[in-house]
């Protein structure tokens, strides 16, 4: 990921159970366009992950998703 040449940059970068939010943003920061977004599908929302994001990274919305036949919940960041 760190060396993938995103030309042109992406409108959105989607991650599913890939890494911590901090690692995802650090490793993939070059992929979204200037006004692009990251979308992370993860387990339960973790306050410590949200608090440890790089400076300038803002979580716009956290949505709890209920997936049929899946125990627990999934969070879209």
- pLDDT tens-digit map of 63-73: 888 888 877 77
Residue 71: φ, ψ to 5°: -75, 140
State the pLDDT confidence band at 31, using cuts at 50, 70 and 90: very high
Which pTM was predicted?
0.77
Q: What is the structure's pLDDT at 63?
A: 86
**Mean predicted lDDT score pLDDT of the chain:** 84
The tens digit of pLDDT for each residue in 39-68 reads: 988 887 678 888 888 888 888 888 888 888
- Residues composing the chain: 77
Domain boundaries, the chain: 10-76
């Amino acid at each position: 990921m760190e060396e993938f040449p995103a030309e042109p940059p992406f409108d959105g970068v989607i991650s599913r159970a890939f890494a911590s939010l901090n690692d995802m943003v650090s490793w993939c920061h070059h992929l979204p366009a200037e006004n692009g977004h990251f979308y992370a599908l993860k387990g339960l929302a973790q306050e410590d992950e949200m608090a440890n994001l790089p400076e300038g990274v803002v979580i716009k919305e956290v949505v709890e998703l209920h997936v049929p036949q899946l125990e627990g919940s999934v969070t879209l960041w």
